[in-house]
Amino acid sequence: MKWGLLARAWLRLGEWLGAVACFLGVRRAVALDGLARAFPAATDGERRRLARAAYRQLGCSLAELLLVRRASEAQLEQLVRFEGWERYQAALEKGRGVVCAIAHFGNFELLARATARRGVRLSVIVRSLNDPFGRWIESDRSRMGARALAARGSSREALAALRRNEVLAIAVDQNMRPSRGIFVDFFGSPACTTPAAAVFALRAGAPLLAAFPIRQPDGTHVVRVLGPFETLLTGHAAVAALTQALTKAVEDQVRAHPDHWYWVHRRWKTRP
C-alpha cells in the first residue's frame, strides 16, 4: 500500500513527535535502563540511538492508527501481510479456539485491527486505560471489531470465546505483580510474567500461537505467526514451560528488531 504525500508527512510528524518525547526525557530513563538490561554489551551511545529509534517507531505507529481508520479492507490487506497464516488456519480447524500471545511490539494496535478486518472473531484481554487517549484507543479497537475483555474477572468470557472457536489474544510482555505472575527468564533476568496465555490454552485444549508485526522498509507490515507452542508437561510445570517459550519468542523478536519494542514500560519492575 502506497501512502499519499499528505499521509507520509503525517507519519513523519509522528516520528518527529516521538523523537521530541525522547529528547524531552519522557520515560527515557526507563527505556535506557531496559536497554542496558537487554543489551549490556552495547555502548551508551548505541543504547541511546536504539532508544531514539524506538521512540520514533512508537510515534509513527500512533500516527498510523489515525490513517488506517479510513482505509478500506483492500488497503488494509495491502498494508498488513501475514507470514504463517496457515498456522492460524490449521489451529482454528481443531475447533477449540486459538490463544494468540502478542507483545507491545511494532504497531501492535494495528495488528488487532488488521486481524479483525480479516474476519477473525477476536477478543483481546487488556488492562483498562483511564486517560482520554487510552479510552480512544480502546474505543477505536472495538469499533474495528476486536472485543476487549478486562484483565481481571473475565476468565468465564475468555473460555466461552474459545469454546465458540474464536481467537483470544493476550499480551505476554508486561510486568506483573507476584500474585498474578510467574518468573521466567527474559534477556537473562527473571521477569514476572502473566501465565494467562498458557493457562487458557491448557484449560481449553486450544492451540497456542504468537504473532509479531514487523514494519518493512516500504512502510508496510509483515505479521510473523509462530507456533503452535506445545509441551508434554502437565500442571504448573506446563504453564511455566509454555510461558517461558512465549517469552523467549518475544525476546528473539526484540533482539532482531530492538526499535520495535515498548521500552518505556518497566518490564523488570517486580523482583523475585
Q: What is the pLDDT of residues 223-247, one digit of tens each?
A: 999 999 999 999 999 999 999 999 9
Q: Is residue 75 part of a domain?
A: yes
pLDDT digits (tens, 9 = 90+) for 72-95: 778 888 899 999 999 999 999 999
Q: Is residue 232 part of a domain?
A: yes
Q: Is residue 271 part of a domain?
A: no
Say how many domains are in the chain: 1
Q: Is residue 140 part of a domain?
A: yes
Q: Is residue 267 part of a domain?
A: no
Ordered mean pLDDT values, 10 residues apiece, the chain (272 residues): 80 97 97 98 98 97 88 84 97 98 94 86 82 70 77 90 97 96 98 98 98 94 97 97 98 98 97 94
112 lies in which domain range? 5-260
- The residues, any chain, with a CB within 8 Å of residue 163's CB and separated by 6 or more, are 97, 204
Distance CA 225, CA 60 (A): 23
Q: Tell me the three cell numbers of residue 108.
A: 501492535
Please give the model's pTM, rounded to 2 decimal places.
Answer: 0.94
Q: Is residue 268 part of a domain?
A: no
Q: Is residue 225 part of a domain?
A: yes
Per-residue model confidence (pLDDT) at position 264:
97
Per-residue model confidence (pLDDT) at position 159:
97
Q: Is residue 265 part of a domain?
A: no
